[in-house]
Structure 1
């Protein structure tokens, strides 16, 4: 379907950010197959004399060393979900008549990656020191996540006063993120021949109350630091049965809980156990959310600078994103990037090209503004040397 990866990405100094987005999207990088794109990103960053470039697996980090009063981290993942006949990219007309770039990764989140890569190359002397992070394996299980790997192995690479994750937000600012957990709720029965069902006990039938509790559950809307986070509790899978002529002895309902960042993972799990009181409940995966952090001075400056260009105001992030990893490091973080998140992972994934340019201008304006005050969070200790 696709030929060999190109030898290089276009030079952002002479290439529009939309053209760079298209070039990045047209290099397939489904989770687990990011090496070709990581190589191209690394090669481009290495050509910039103002950047120090580091690499761990298929995560590439580049940073300035200008001795600024603040250091900020701009991060984005380079992998995508599987391709569904939606590459190579195409330039199309969107539903509102605006030009769009269509294809896998245009929304989630290679447009955001292109914005970051374009600015990394074209802002040699920003008003803040910047650490640019392009990481792998975001669209798969948390234990494979490249940003998580760097947090564990090289936390100093990510040190800073504030972080921006380029996840699609339609050009708005989304603070923090909901937490997420998954549980298996099980019932147990006794096998028997289905012709003599009275000799057994049907575990699938016993799952009916689980589904009933889910159907009657009313999710909360929780105010956290002035932003309203909508929660959700939903069955996402059900399994059971042995054969077409046997009474099943076990049934498992998989449930996903999206919870406001005011709760810890432990508190969220306890709530789910209460909902399914009387059943066997096993936690299979979970990640805490991140509070908005918009009361932090750097965050306030960011919101003011971005909204001056884009308009609008900050809102909550309902899904889980890697801003939570920065929160674990004590770094306030927000989501900001081009692309409608409702189109993430869709077969008709597409992003308005003007939105890519607007996000680029807004982020460039903020990064170019010097900060006179001393940083209020930890830095990597290298500024001024």
Structure 2
């Protein structure tokens, strides 16, 4: 394989065009339109629609003779405060739009890599199974959960997520929880008589951070009103990270103890997921080889700080690598983008991976 094939301007133009098309299709509530686009765009692949109850369907092409799965989710978070979220713009080498990094830029690079592979290997079958899943950005994550029921014969997976181009064999765990405080309200001019529930919540959070020696991420905070009276309730949705080697149940017990050290605070468990590790096995070696072939150097290793569908695949014994170029920290924000260079690199690595897997069949 000549590197010029995967770094050509033609390939890059294709990837950019695909990204613009994908961003222009909203996929934060209804996923059918983007899945219909993908099915038509990749019409040389035999896809099936896998129902996901009350959500829609996954678009899958699963073949036990192709034990490597490439998976990514097609849903995004809502626009939130992003202006013109579905009108992609390229500026200073960056392509902006909702889902540009998470994960439509990665989907665009996958489409381009598949096209180039097919063009250069007209007699060969696509050497991987594929799954475009839904519902990853929701709390339920039903898409990949349903997908696991049809992965017999699939031993390995590349889960495409923005990891800054690092190869991640580890995924941070989290404990998500709510804190609730209810007190009596007073006229605001007599606030000294009130036990302000918001301030009590702050005390609890400070106690958690001190006892557990880690920061608390506040996802949502509700308290107070516009009337001139002290609030009578406070409700916080928050989370803490679970680090490698920590026992999930033991950590949550310490968390609860830290909460209840402050009287009259209610703790509600929302969700919890332990730290995940995958071996430096077959999938790691293949993505490492593909990275080196495409970009001429060894990849950096990393830890994915966010939940991904790899968690569901791990439950059925699938060996995963989480990988993709893109800035995770700006994903979900009004500044989300992927650079043209990241798009190029991601396309190059995926094409190299397809080539390597085809040669080893």
TM-score of Structure 1 vs Structure 2, range by shorter chain: 0.7 to 0.9
TM-score normalised by L of structure 2 = 0.79
- 1:299-328 superposed Cα distances (whole Å, 9 cap, x missing partner): 233223324433332111112222111111
Alignment of 1:1-385 (within 5 A): 16-29=14-27, 31-45=28-42, 47-48=43-44, 51-56=46-51, 57-64=56-63, 67=65, 71-83=67-79, 84-85=82-83, 86-93=85-92, 99-123=93-117, 129-141=127-139, 143=140, 145-151=142-148, 155-157=149-151, 159-191=153-185, 202-214=196-208, 216=210, 219=213, 232-241=215-224, 244=227, 248-263=231-246, 265-279=248-262, 280-310=265-295, 311=297, 312-370=299-357
Is the partner of 1:286 in helix, strand or coil?
strand
- 1:331-359 superposed Cα distances (whole Å, 9 cap, x missing partner): 12122112122221232322221321222
Which residue of the partner structure matches residue 96 of structure 1? none
- 1:270-296 superposed Cα distances (whole Å, 9 cap, x missing partner): 232133233545334224145231422
Which residue of the partner structure matches residue 228 of structure 1? none
Give the gaps of 5 or more residues in structure 2. Answer: 1-9
Cα distance between partner residues in 2 of 1:242 and 1:354? 47
Is the partner of 1:137 in helix, strand or coil?
coil
The question of whether the paired residues in 2 share the 8 Å contact of 1:88 and 1:103 is answered with yes
The question of whether the paired residues in 1 share the 8 Å contact of 2:172 and 2:306 is answered with yes
Deviates more, 1:242-251 or 1:171-180: 242-251
Is the partner of 1:276 in helix, strand or coil?
helix
Which residue of the partner structure matches residue 3 of structure 2? none
Shift of 1:172: 2.2
Give the gaps of 5 or more residues in structure 1. Answer: 1-11, 94-98, 221-231, 375-385
Cα distance between partner residues in 2 of 1:39 and 1:339? 25
Cα distance between partner residues in 1 of 2:198 and 2:300? 47
The question of whether the paired residues in 2 share the 8 Å contact of 1:52 and 1:64 is answered with no
Deviates more, 1:79-88 or 1:206-215: 206-215
- 1:124-174 superposed Cα distances (whole Å, 9 cap, x missing partner): 577984221112222222x254222333xxx12475221111111222212
- 1:233-285 superposed Cα distances (whole Å, 9 cap, x missing partner): 23334334578455554433332112125445434422321332335453342
Shift of 1:175: 2.3
- 1:42-73 superposed Cα distances (whole Å, 9 cap, x missing partner): 2233x21x5343432242112457x35xx111
Task: Let me know the Cα RMSD of the aligned residues.
Answer: 3.4
The question of whether the paired residues in 1 share the 8 Å contact of 2:187 and 2:229 is answered with yes
The structure where helix makes up a greater share of residues is: 2
With over 3 angstroms needed to count, the CA separation of the structure-2 counterparts of 1:362 and 1:316, relative to structure 1, is: same
